[in-house]
A and B are shown apart, each in its own frame.
Chain A
Amino acid sequence: MLWTVGFAVSQNVGFSPTLHNCGNKFEKWATLRMERGAKEKNHQLYKPYTNGIIAKDPTSLEEEIKEIRRSGSSKALDNTPEFELSDIFYFCRKGMETIMDDEVTKRFSAEELESWNLLSRTNYNFQYISLRLTVLWGLGVLIRYCFLLPLRIALAFTGISLLVIGTTVVGYLPNGRFKEFLSKHVHLMCYRICVRALTAIITYHDRENRPRNGGICVANHTSPIDVIILASDGYYAMVGQVHGGLMGVIQRAMVKACPHVWFERSEVKDRHLVAKRLTEHVQDKSKLPILIFPEGTCINNTSVMMFKKGSFEIGATVYPVAIKYDPQFGDAFWNSSKYGMVTYLLRMMTSWAIVCSVWYLPPMTRETDEDAVQFANRVKSAIARQGGLVDLLWDGGLKREKVKDTFKEEQQKLYSKMIVGNHEDRSRS
């Protein structure tokens, strides 16, 4: 158990890759132990398909219906049938596949792990396997709650207070180079303290591509921590809605030191206004790059969902960033329908650590023949490719809303074309 304590302490005061590796090896041992125990009792612990419970066959509507019809080649080949009874097979199968396992809803809950990391929250089949493992888990709980948690809360408290006080003080200075310099460094220092408070082990890649003034930084969104992770390695202007309470205090203090873009609740709905303010900000080269999360909601870091086109219409240079969390030591995904912000932060602070990788991708600009949506999709694919995430066209807003009717009608249109198209050919001949 000494390694766990040593590991946790070292993470709080500095980064130690060797202990990180030890951590992984230890977990593998714990998992093997559990699997052995499970086999003895003839239980199955983990699904073999960790990406879903079925093996999917991805074919399009047209391809598959044509294939089904072709296999019924008892008909003459020139007499293309307009409608076949077997056409429903495609819809039935697709429907069944979706019922068994769909691509969308599983993005809104935390990823399931292959090996257990001694957090009961990630073990969905928690059973008593052996005394040794339970004791280890108990010790883990002790360390996490009684030792790490108070340490982290103290650090978080320090970080936030320093941010508020620091930025307010800097706010009193006259505008100028010195103020900007101080403000950047105050922000940076406080974010770095917050990173320690969460024991976040971050690996930054390709730092030469870091966003510059007058640009927009876009990244995939998994949790509010994303902001802290990015802002502890660069200087950004934040965009967001004005909140009340503690968040509001922080926001008001921050904006005294340097310009951030905070919107009132009512202004958020007005897309024109939002676009105007963002454009004004990026055109001023002295202002810091804006940080935006175009998905609009938190996704569980296995995929990237639809990017809202607003930020891509402005015409500024876009600096894409891919953030990939390693859920082994603690899952960073914020399931906002399950946990409130405070509960979420407590869960973060009682995990072992938050491990993630950040890739700064080369800047992209909109091409002349592209519209905002195509540009957004291009950026999204680049981010998904780099982070090893699934690139989905689905809207993250589906967490809370239904699919728009236009999508429903698409399938029907496609199928109708298959029937009607042939019909028209025949009437012409």
Chain B
Amino acid sequence: MPACTMGNEASYPEEMCSHFSQDEIKRLGKRFKKLDLDCSGSLSVDEFLSLPELQQNPLVQRVVDVFDTDGNGEVDFREFILGASQFSVRGDEEQKLRFAFSIYDMDKDGYISNGELFQVLKMMVRDNLKDWQLQQLVDKTIITLDRDGDGKISFEEFSAVVGGLEVHKKLVVIV
């Protein structure tokens, strides 16, 4: 793999607002450089997909989209650190739930619609389930969770079900 000579390793801007220490940021920086095969300064989906274990993860596209806060299709170093920070052991519950919510909320409008839930579920099962079976599951989930009857799931409705069960502790990667 090519080694990039770009970037000043010695200091990273404090306004990164992450949960990481300087030392952890340095290590993540090294990892970032290693993933950045064309030394462009940002990671494209293809560069993520160069990791064999990610190639078999059905939600990789969603995770990359959630990282990519400015929506330019690539993840720069700042987005990388901020994204990873949400998985830090020092992160709070709401941050993690927001991350999980964003996986479903594809158009980032603050609601999980029927179509969005269907698409994410489809990514996870591919052709192993028929569309009508999937649609059934989706409809059922929305009916169960939708309290205000608008046909969509808001973040409050989402956290009501998923939050408070300490489930967010599963979204932790210790650097």
Chain A residues proximal to chain B, CB less than 8 Å: 44, 47, 53-55, 64, 68, 71-72, 74, 82-83, 85-105, 108-109, 337-338, 394, 398, 402-403, 407-413, 415-417, 419-420, 423
Contact = CB atoms under 8 A, between A and B. Distances in A.
Contacts of A394: 52
A74 B31 CA distance: 40
B141 A403 contact: no
Q: Which 4 A-B pairs have the closest CB atoms?
A: A416-B128, A403-B55, A91-B59, A416-B125
A100 B59 contact: no
Interface string B1-35: 10000000000000000000001001110110011
B175 A54 contact: yes
29 contacts: A44-B26, A53-B27, A53-B30, A71-B165, A72-B162, A85-B100, A85-B104, A85-B141, A85-B158, A86-B100, A86-B170, A88-B104, A88-B124, A89-B171, A91-B58, A91-B59, A93-B172, A93-B173, A95-B54, A96-B63, A97-B173, A99-B84, A100-B175, A101-B31, A102-B53, A104-B52, A108-B1, A411-B56, A412-B58
A88 B172 contact: no
Interface string B40-63: 000000001111111111111001
A373 B173 CA distance: 34
A423 B173 CA distance: 32
Nearest to B141: A83
Contacts of B30: 53
Contact of B170 (A68, A104, A108, A412): A68
B100 A89 contact: yes
Nearest to A103: B53
B120 interface: yes
Interface in B137-172: 137, 140-141, 145, 158, 161-162, 165-167, 170-172
Contacts of B120: 88
Given A54-B173, A72-B167, A98 B137 contact: no
Contact of A92 (B48, B51, B59): B59
B66 to A, nearest CB: 9
A407 B51 CA distance: 13
Nearest to B35: A99
B50 A105 contact: yes
B87 A96 contact: yes
B48 A99 contact: yes
B171 A415 contact: no
Interface string B96-134: 000110011000000000000000110011101100010
Nearest to B117: A85
Given A100-B28, A402-B55, A403-B52, 17 more contacts: A54-B173, A54-B175, A71-B167, A85-B158, A86-B167, A88-B120, A89-B171, A91-B58, A97-B173, A101-B31, A102-B53, A104-B51, A407-B55, A408-B58, A410-B56, A413-B128, A423-B133
